[in-house]
């Protein structure tokens, strides 16, 4: 009978430990996601600030999506563009300033833009700086030792 009680007690302790580990790791993940978001915001080039301000953490269950939300040109900033032709809409013209005067054209040859990565460097920063912190939380709880927060 004592073996049964010991096994039951062990099962209960493991069940509680699992919940504690999940809670602690998810808390660390929430903090890490915010740190990655801030890293991206520091790295992103700023013209108007729209792209920087669109960088957010979107949590879907236990999955985190970190990056620009609702800014269609975000990928072009990250990866750059090749030279391309910009065409005016049907019946319209493109207007732009050259040397203080307004020019009009039905199309222009855009030279492309240089990549200005901010997502990939933030990801690399997270891998180098945050992975161990999260692993330590889970391992310390498994070992029955509370994690020391620095």
pLDDT band at 150 (very low <50, low <70, confident <90, very high): very low
Indicate whether 148 pLDDT > 50. Answer: no
> Are 27 and 75 in the same domain?
yes
Cα-based angle 27, 31, 33 (whole degrees, multiple of 5)? 115
**10 contacts 16 by C-beta, under 8 angstroms:** no
**74 contacts 51 by C-beta, under 8 angstroms:** yes
pTM as predicted: 0.70
Count Cβ atoms below 10 Å from residue 125 Cβ, excluding itself. 16
For 31-74, the DSSP string reads HHHHHHHHHHHHHS--SSSHHHHHEEEEEETTEEEEEE-S-TTH
> Are 100 and 54 in the same domain?
no
Longest CA pairwise span in the chain (Å): 94
> Are 120 and 55 in the same domain?
yes
The per-residue pLDDT for 37 is 96
pLDDT band at 143 (very low <50, low <70, confident <90, very high): low
Q: What is the pLDDT of residues 70-111, one digit of tens each?
A: 999 999 999 999 999 999 999 999 999 999 999 999 999 999
Query: CB within 8 A of 50, min separation 6: which ones?
Result: 71
> Are 72 and 57 in the same domain?
yes
Tokens of residue 7, six digits: 């096994």
Number of domains observed in the structure of the chain: 2
> Are 25 and 96 in the same domain?
no
User: Is residue 149 included in any domain, yes or no?
Assistant: no
Indicate whether 129 pLDDT > 50. Answer: yes
User: Is residue 148 included in any domain, yes or no?
Assistant: no
> Are 86 and 75 in the same domain?
no
Q: What is the pLDDT of residues 25-52, one digit of tens each?
A: 778 888 889 999 999 999 999 999 999 9
> Are 108 and 34 in the same domain?
no
> Are 133 and 70 in the same domain?
yes
User: Is residue 147 included in any domain, yes or no?
Assistant: no
Domain boundaries, position 86 = 81-113
> Are 131 and 105 in the same domain?
no
Q: What percent of the chain has pLDDT over 90?
A: 58
């Amino acid at each position: 009978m004592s073996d049964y009680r010991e096994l039951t007690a062990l099962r209960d302790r493991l069940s509680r430990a699992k919940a504690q580990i999940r809670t602690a790791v998810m808390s660390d993940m929430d903090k890490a996601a915010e740190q990655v978001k801030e890293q991206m915001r520091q790295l992103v080039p700023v013209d108007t600030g729209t792209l920087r301000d669109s960088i957010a953490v979107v949590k879907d269950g236990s999955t985190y999506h970190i990056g620009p939300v609702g800014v269609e040109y975000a990928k072009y900033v990250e990866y750059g563009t090749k030279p391309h032709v910009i065409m005016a809409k049907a019946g319209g013209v493109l207007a732009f300033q050259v040397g203080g005067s307004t020019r009009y054209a039905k199309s222009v040859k855009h030279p492309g833009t240089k990549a200005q990565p901010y997502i990939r460097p933030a990801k690399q920063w997270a891998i180098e700086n945050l992975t161990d912190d999260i692993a330590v939380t889970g391992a310390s709880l498994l070992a029955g030792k509370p994690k020391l927060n620095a």
